[in-house]
Structure 1
Amino acid sequence: MSGTSEGTGPTGVAVPGRARPKITERHQVGRSAAELRDYRAAFNAAHLAMAVVDQDGLVVTANAALATLFGAEPVDLLERTAADLVDLASDRRTWHAYREVLRGRRSRFRCTRRLKHPDGRALWAEVTVAPVPDSRNVLLSVADISDRRELHARLRHLQMHDAVTRLPNRTLFFERLASALESSAYDQGSTGRVGLCYLDLDGFKAVNDTLGHRVGDRLLAAVARRLTECADGDGYTRSGGHLVARLGGDEFAILVEDSTGTDQVADLARSVLVALQQPFDLDGQRLSVSASIGVVERTVAGTTATGLMQAADTTLYWAKADGKARWTLFDPERNAHRMTRQALSSTLRPAVERGEFALEYQPLVGLADGMTRGVEALVRWNHPQFGTLAPNRFIGIAEEDGSIVQLGRWVLRTACRQARRWQQEHPGVPPLFVSVNVAVRQVWDSDLVADVAEILAETGLAPHLLQLELTESAVMGSAGRPLQALQALSDMGVQIAIDDFGTGYSNLAYLSRLPVSALKLDGSFVRGFQDEAHPNPADETIVEALVQLAHRLGLTVTAECVETSGQASRLRSIGCDTGQGWLYSRAVAPDRIGAMIGVSALPG
């Protein structure tokens, strides 16, 4: 058809009679201007508080939501320093990350800040800084996450408190105890001491059995209130009030941070006994109870959470053995090995120099093929007076008096040298790794990272062939310097294992944030497999769940105290990686280990 032109429809097919629109430069400019107006309108109308910031960190433009957040008009925020508005310069790490985004060296930065609202209340904000495309500016956004933080705080409170008594639970108690021991050791304002009243109600089981758990729970709640009153009545320290916690069942603890001495904690124990002796009126039900209390008070230096709780538990046992309804102060002289302990303590340091220590090694065997994968180094003291002593007779003393540093360094050097010697003597098989126990005090009182690096260089042992074992309570309470040391060792290539896992206050979520490569399940799990004719399904289910969790976190699992082939078979079937125990070998001299290298321990 003449006199007409063709255009295209929505599908791109030519349509007769429709003129093709001509895209002019003016049309493009108009469209860009319209888009810019739309962007500006959306920016200003957005509920999310935002500002455009230039390379110098000054606000170029801000929307109404941001202005409202600071109780101002958008124009009042122009040329303001963005970092000052949202407190980005208060710590070096945050300030550096923010500057890197401004300079175009980092694509995005996010942090959480506590800001002050114009009405005086505090609010938590999530601050995000990201480059603006095709621009040298950045976009700063501020999201109010106060409700989210409050919900998180409520959930944590529920998680960390006992439902019956509303007191802090075992997890929170150990968290606070670890923090108290760690902070007091370096805080100049601290007394450097800590006290603990560890108590348990006498005859509480009879209350549950005769009157029922409902009455028992009411009694526990009433006891909790009286304990709190006693703790509050004892006064407040620099760190606040004493922590009263329910550790489980009818066991309670009162933690006295920055204690002023034994007299303070003993007076607190006396007041608790007096308070609990007054009858309880539970909805017309009149009950009388008593308690046994173990009292421990000591300097923070050289004290571990495990050591403190062991002392408290021992002292509580003494109080019950002495007739109940009383408090007893921990007395080292009362220990069965009192004289032996004193003699060992006085001779331990010179014994290292005299060469009285020796190492034996217990194999860690692959459950799938029976091959020896590694060994654990176990120190023995060939004491001239008391004969050969196992580690449990002197390691605690070494940790208390600080000689663990010197002894630990010797153990580490000797074990690495022996592992390298086995590697050279058996070049045709995969080399064994050697596992060495480390006490937390070795991290605090020495430069463990430097010691390990020096010994590895000296002996020629590859870092991945060294595994350092720490107890569960030590690792779970790690923060500050210990955690930094563990991370540095892991970065070096050294393997980190948690020993006796499952005996403490297993914070499983914490595992993902620790540089741990292996778990060693405590022997109590394996001992639950002993009755092979009537196995306990619960034990197997627990171990299987722990193994699966560990594997998902990229960790290997070693089962300790494997004594029978039946236990080994069941552990193998649920995926456990290695086993350690008398089934394979006791701790033996180095030459005996040499005979096991490259030889399967499986029958047939």
Structure 2
Amino acid sequence: MRFLKILLLVLSAWLATLAPVAALEAVEVPANADAIDLTSAVDLYSGTGASLQVSTAPGADGIVRRIEVNSRDDENTSWAVFALSNPGDEQIDRLIVAPFFQLVGSRLIWPDLGASRIASITPSQGIAPERQSSQEADVFLVTLDPGAVVTYVVELRTENLPQIRLWEPDVYKDTVNAYTLYRGIILGISGLLALFLTILFVVKGTIMFPATATLAWSVLAYLTIDFGFWNKVLQITPGDEQLYRACAEVALAASLIIFLYAYLNLNRWHIRYSHLALATLILVLGLLGVAVWDPSVAAGIARISLGIIGVLGFAIIVALVAQGYDRAIMLVPTWVLLLSWLVGAGMTVTGALANDIVQPALAGGLVLVVLLIGFTVMQHAFAGGAIAQGLISDVERRALALTGCGDIIWDWDIDRDRISTGNEVEELLGLKQGLLEGPARDWLDVLHPQDRDTFRGTLDAVIDQRRGRISQAFRLRSEDGHYRWFRLRARPIIGSDGEVIRCVGTLLDITEQKVTEERLLHDAVHDNLTGLPNRELFLDRLQAALARARAEGLARPSVLMIDLDRFKQVNDSIGLSAGDSILLTVARRISRQLKPQDALARLSGDTYGLLLLSEQSADRVAAFADAIRRAVRSPITFGDQEVFLTSSVGIAIYEGNESEVSAPEMMREADMAMNHAKRMGGDRVEVFRPSLQSSGASRVELEADLRKALNTDGITVFYQPIVRLADRSIAGFEVLARWNHPRRGAVSPTEFIPIAEQSGLINELGLFVLDRSARQLSEWQSKFRVPVPHFISVNVSSLQLLRHELINDVKQVLSRSALAPGTLKLELTESVVMANPEYSARMLERLRGLGAGLSLDDFGTGYSSLSYLQRFRFDTIKVDQSFVRPNGRSARPVILRSIIALGHDLGMQVVAEGAETESDSLELHQLGCEFAQGFLYGQPMEASEATKLLQAEMEALSA
């Protein structure tokens, strides 16, 4: 057999060398396609050695290239090649999925029992696909750029590739989740069935139950292997479960023999049946040893044996049915279903029946077969065991019903004033027996103080009115001091004299029901995550505080609206569970600042409301709000990273003369103030003033005008010179966006940049500035040939950095503009980078790999973490102007010298901002600073003025 395999491999390799090599045909990947089957589009190469030379699919330019890929494992001789193309104008992400095991087409003889198919994938261009964690398949994430045609060379671990598909990531995730739920249901039913049949064996003791239980456990073992359950329990390497799968199929065949022999009781019919069954069982179990040597051989024999057992078993059943054997008659429908399952399984493994749901359907069908077998066995085993039925009286029927419902009997003998409960209540409460067996007044000692009058009044009313029903809930104190809820339902019994002689009913413990009701009431007005009051309860408390302030005129309530800045971006980057932990941490930090009379609530996702009563004066309220802002600003440690958040706080203070102000109006005023704080850049406190009421409408108008300006080139790119201090020549420019509004005139960047960030226009604005300035720099570099090319620094906001599309934007800009490497510098502040250090480090490393320079702006004013400064590997640091301008402090030159020396020690260039005088420039040059910018060298100017400035400098140098 081994020789045959080797001969087939050599023959296939020889035929591959004779076959002409045709250019690959790329498979188009539409953006709206959920899944594409690539199996038929893959070219397989077997026996080609440790390297493969292959022609790529024609690219967009029609050129066919030739690439060579070397194997990671020198023993590998199998390869697969396919090509993908992205016809759209957007970048798309897809998953390449090659399942470890496919029942469809796995063969009857020498079946393919599954394995890891793909060792690695090498693309003809772009980033290598990333392997994704999966217990069921080789999964690789690929990214296709717009219009790209990429050829992928796949290094195989096996000689064949049964199936390979291209999935949209979300669709694949949903599909896996759907199958996981289905598998969980099937495993749950199979496990319960196996356990139930095992328990029945213990109870009943007949031989057919352990035989049926063995079949059920074998099916469960097969399903757990097929569903990948044991891969996680036993830590089996994905794709290496061939031995376990073969053993499961052998056990399935063996257990079917055991069941058929035990259920049909073949040993009583003829000894040859026992011999035949025993010999077959020994042969089948012998396959377990074969499975250790070669699982494929054992599984193939087991599959053939399973079909033979099904056919022979049906023949035996038919023969016994002809003799009138009732067990065989009851088994006929189930065995017919089993034969149908075997036919479907045979068609599946031979490839005659092939689709995505056939394998899960066969698993469900197998469980259905075992379920029907279990019903058949129970029907026969318990036949004739029904309870003898007879006539019972109405009193007996009521007694049985009362016993069945489990309620406690409550009997009050009014003439003797004695209550009887049968000691069941004392046992529930842990009280001494007989404590509640006595006069009704004894119950008052154990009743909750709030329920005593109601209990006494209800009993008195029944006696006085001589009619009615009692339905009352009350609490009884247990031995440990806790109270349990009970519901009493009773009715009076009238004597011959028309007076009430007894009151009889039931007592039911409803503690769990009451606890559930209280929890639901609590959840209705509290936040599920933080446990804080929600908006409804906060609004109710604010209304009460306003009513008390109007009535008493003492405590004036203030409302603080606290909203976390950029929380959505942080939540998207670190995950929902981490985001929930951050919300809990913020809630605890704010709660520590409160006094008993204050109240905190969670109004929405990342917005908190605070009712402040402990502070009355406006300045004290503002100081309290600033303390809240500082508390939120402290870094939050999550795992091995630190998350930095800021908050915008809006304040609405109740004025004594505003008698008509309502709680919703105060919350709306606080919300306006908070939104104004966010528009001003966040991390600030704003108090409501009437002028803010119109700013909301103007902000909407300004946002619409900004969107229009982006579409009509209303934004102008300005350039501020950056001078080389050694010779006072222009080294580059810092790029600034300016907006000249048609009606309002020049709009300050501090006004329209926050609007762009909050509305999502910052990405379009950033891409516009980046593209326009890169084109201008390319024009300058081609026109002014200098030994060191000029550079530009473009500011990048936090929202841009947190978007993965920034990589593609920079890549496209660099591809459209012929720029010298490193001359396009992306300028980021410390606060932007430290908002998510781990994610920022990965993004910056990829941007550096594209050829972009990195500049750290406003160094020294933020966190200035030296560990992160080493990790981020910036090219340039920009010293904030607060360290450059003289301020009369003796420490300034020392700090400035230290910052410059630190930058040089880390291999970075240093740019100083705010150089306004010649003395500033001279001092910076003496300290070793390479570059400076400020009004001394030029204010921000348009591209034409900057071009004239460069032209004049070039003419001066040539003269």
TM-score, scaled relative to structure 1? 0.50
Larger Rg: 2
Relative contact order: is structure 1 or structure 2 higher (C-alpha 8 Å, sep ≥ 6)? 1
TM-score, scaled relative to structure 2? 0.32
Higher helix share: 2
